[in-house]
Structure 1
Amino acid sequence: MLLKPLRFCVMALAAAGLSAGASSAQVSDSNVRAVNAARNWAINQNGGLSVYRPADCMFQTNTGGGACLIETNSQGYTFRFLGGAPGWQQQGLAPNTETVVTVSPDGRTITNVGYNGSPR
């Protein structure tokens, strides 16, 4: 008799844990657009993919930019990331560019370029 309520409690706790994990892992569509907009802006401004690659975190749309996302507020999304020659991170080379860019809250427009130059 006690098995039915116990089984229900276990299933309810498992479902609550799964839904909590899923909600904390979700990234908004505007955040994904913002990562893409910031990354593409930097690629275009720094010579294209044949000469420049942004840090790996700027390709992590599933985390909204991961460590590259430094601020989210009413002004939008601000990213700070390094970049360099293709393969720079994988080969352990030093980056040659630092970029700080803010994207609108809807993730569609670059609203501010705080910095785009040699790493500080």
Structure 2
Amino acid sequence: MFSSRLRAAAPLAAAVIVVGSSGLSHAQNSLPLAQPRAANLARMRAELLNGGLGAYRADQCMYVTGAEECLVSTTNEGFRFQFRGGAPGWQQLSPAEPTLETEVIISRDGDRILSVPYNGPLRHPRQP
């Protein structure tokens, strides 16, 4: 009885794998492979510069794959991220009260921090 259930389920499992893999390739084509690495590296640098996770949390956009909302530009030089941050819990406040702003430039391959042009108090309001 068990083997007949297994045989009946096999075609369904194969169909799920095919559908899942086609969706994966579409998502990969819409986002450069280096961008998620670059975003993670930029966020981790801000965390290090601002006292670690016990003292600092980056904007929520930096926790989304590729951090597209915080990506200011992509050039031949690399990825430029600009984002706000603050003490843990700052985004749960109403209104949210960030205290810091960070700008980080990461290499095109997503593997190296090229520079941190700014890390300090808020400079200007966030543009929509």
TM range, normalised to the smaller chain?
0.7 to 0.9
Q: Alpha-carbon deviation of 1:28?
A: 2.1
Give the paired residue count.
99
Cα distance in structure 1, aligned partners of 2:30 and 2:80 = 19
Q: Could you tell me which residue of structure 2 aligns to residue 109 of structure 1?
A: 112
Cα distance in structure 2, aligned partners of 1:106 and 1:66 = 16
CA-to-partner distance for each residue in 1:34-56, whole Å, 9 max, x for gaps? 00000000001100001100000
Q: Could you tell me which residue of structure 2 aligns to residue 69 of structure 1?
A: 71
Q: Could you tell me which residue of structure 2 aligns to residue 79 of structure 1?
A: 81
Q: What SS is found at the alignment partner of 1:108?
A: coil
Find out whether 1:118 has 2:121 as its counterpart: yes
Q: Could you tell me which residue of structure 2 aligns to residue 54 of structure 1?
A: 58
Identify unmatched segments of 5+ residues in structure 1: 1-17
- With structure 2 as the length reference, what TM-score do the two structures score? 0.71
The RMSD of aligned alpha carbons is 1.8
Cα distance in structure 2, aligned partners of 1:25 and 1:49 = 32
1:2-81 correspondence runs (5 A)? 22=26, 26-61=30-65, 64-81=66-83
Identify unmatched segments of 5+ residues in structure 2: 1-21, 124-128
CA-to-partner distance for each residue in 1:63-109, whole Å, 9 max, x for gaps? x1121000001000000000001111122331111001100001011
Q: Alpha-carbon deviation of 1:119?
A: 0.3
